[in-house]
Structure 1
Amino acid sequence: MKTSEVTKPPTDVMELKGMFASRSLRLPKQLEQVARLALARPDVIAFGSARSIAAVCSVSPTSVTRLATALGFDSFQDFKLFFQQHLRRTANSETGGCF
């Protein structure tokens, strides 16, 4: 699957990891750098700006927003929200839902 063939975003991080593991998603090098960071450090995506994420990956902020749309998200904000929700679910499962 090429980046232009993605029509809907993944439902969770496991699905996103599966897309990469199965090689069904092929990305240009710069977008892949951002995707690898997203999987390794979802907190950086959840709480960063396109500019700060780009700096960590040594790519342009445009590459960060391009990855979001390549994965089927409507915007960079939706991409961030996806990772924020992932971190919330992870935190809730580790604490039993109580803080």
Structure 2
Amino acid sequence: MKMSEATRPPTNVTELKGLIASRALKLPKQLEQVARLALARPDVVAFGSARSIAVACSVSPTTVARLATALGFDSFREFKLFFQQHLRGTASSEAGGCF
């Protein structure tokens, strides 16, 4: 189920950081742990599974999926794709746009 427009998924990592910062006190502790890991190590989310991320944060895989939907993504898969696209963009800009 898609959430309201107020919780639409962010379009980039900068927007995601702002979204998390504005909700930092409202996110339950376990969701905040996963959010901090995602921002500090986007590669872990981009290439990991909900289970591997959960293990890294000492939470359940359900908590990882719950963060994705709390941030406005339809699923963990969409959340993961967001980070994959971010890393592709970062790699592309560091390489001057070509490989």
For normalisation by structure 1, the TM-score amounts to: 0.89
Distance 1:24 1:58 in 2: 21
Partner of 1:41: 41
Note the C-alpha offset of 1:9: 0.4
Note the C-alpha offset of 1:18: 1.3
CA offsets 1:45-96 (integer angstroms, 9 cap, x no match): 0000000000000000000000000000001000000000000000000001
Partner of 1:77: 77
- Larger deviation, residues 51-60 vs 5-14: 5-14
* CA-based RMSD: 1.5
Structure 2 regions of 5+ residues with no counterpart?
A: none
1:95 aligned onto 2:92: no
Note the C-alpha offset of 1:7: 2.5
**Amino acid corresponding to residue 40 of structure 2 in structure 1:** A
Structure 1 regions of 5+ residues with no counterpart?
A: none
For normalisation by structure 2, the TM-score amounts to: 0.89
Aligned pairs for 1:4-83 (under 5 A) are 6-21=6-21, 23-24=22-23, 26-83=26-83
